[in-house]
Structure 1
Amino acid sequence: MNSLTPFPQGHVAQPVVSFHRKELGVILSLYGRMVAAGEWRDYGISSLREVAVFSVFRRTAENPLYRIEKRPKLRGRQGEYAVIGMEGQVLKRGHDLRTVLRVLERKLIRAVD
């Protein structure tokens, strides 16, 4: 193996799940509004073999407040998108990302009041 070959010969990289540009646009729009309201401060994105995760933090050095997950294998069942709370509870799951994120937009309305 030479230094230009990322994988040994015959080895194939495993595909990963990731958010598409349109999906990230929807998520980042909500994220920007929550930052402006002072509710969120940081985020992280993970692209793994079976799931893509957008994690939202109040402070950088703590556990995420929420995880927005995309699991394409669940597309035909309960829906590929989910919002997971800090304790691991599923707050909302569905087929449409905007609809699933409404559970977090309600918190934005309360924060502004």
Structure 2
Amino acid sequence: MPVDWTVPPAAIAAIGAAPAYITFDRRELDSILNLYGRKVATGEWRDYAIDFLKDRAVFSVFRRSAEVALYRVEKVPRLARKQGAYSVVTATGLILKRGSDLARVLSALDKPVRLVAG
């Protein structure tokens, strides 16, 4: 029987060393929640989820809570020098916009809805 040498998260927390998770700071969350509030007011979005992982932070937007996420706003700091730390990803995995300026990346989701006459 092999010995598992990994340390459980509870033991790490007990020592005082918290695991390093990527998070959104207050300014970033303010920008994201501002857009989210406008979309909720128009009835386009209804729910959200925030995930803080070891390599990325993800803000997911849902039309209904029982469905898959419509969009994900991701922060991946290791890509900051290459492509930019922020990206907007659709439910199918298509990256709508990527960059280092969060406001510019979020502008991909802030397009007004147009009526197409046919």
Q: TM-score range by the shorter chain?
A: 0.7 to 0.9
| Contact 1:39–1:111 (8 Å) recurs in 2 | no
Q: Does 1:100 align with 2:105?
A: yes
1:35-74 aligned at under 5 Å gives the runs 35-74=40-79
TM-score (normalised: structure 2):
0.83
TM-score (normalised: structure 1):
0.87
Q: Comparing both chains, which one has the higher relative contact order based on Cα–Cα distances under 8 Å and sequence gaps of 6 or more?
A: 1
**Structure 2: 5+ residue runs without aligned partners?**
1-9
In 1, the alpha carbon distance for the partners of 2:114 and 2:39 equals: 9
1:33 to 19, 28, 38: 38
In 2, the alpha carbon distance for the partners of 1:28 and 1:111 equals: 23
The runs of 4+ residues in structure 1 deviating greater than 6 Å are none
2:11 to 7, 12, 35: 7
Structure 1 residue aligned with 2:87: 82
In 2, the alpha carbon distance for the partners of 1:38 and 1:61 equals: 16
Between the aligned residues of both structures, percent identity stands at 50
Give the SS at the match of 1:110.
coil
**Structure 1: 5+ residue runs without aligned partners?**
1-5
Greater radius of gyration (CA): 2
Q: Deviations over 1:37-85 (max 9, x none)?
A: 0000000000000000000000001100000000000000000000000
In 2, the alpha carbon distance for the partners of 1:43 and 1:67 equals: 10
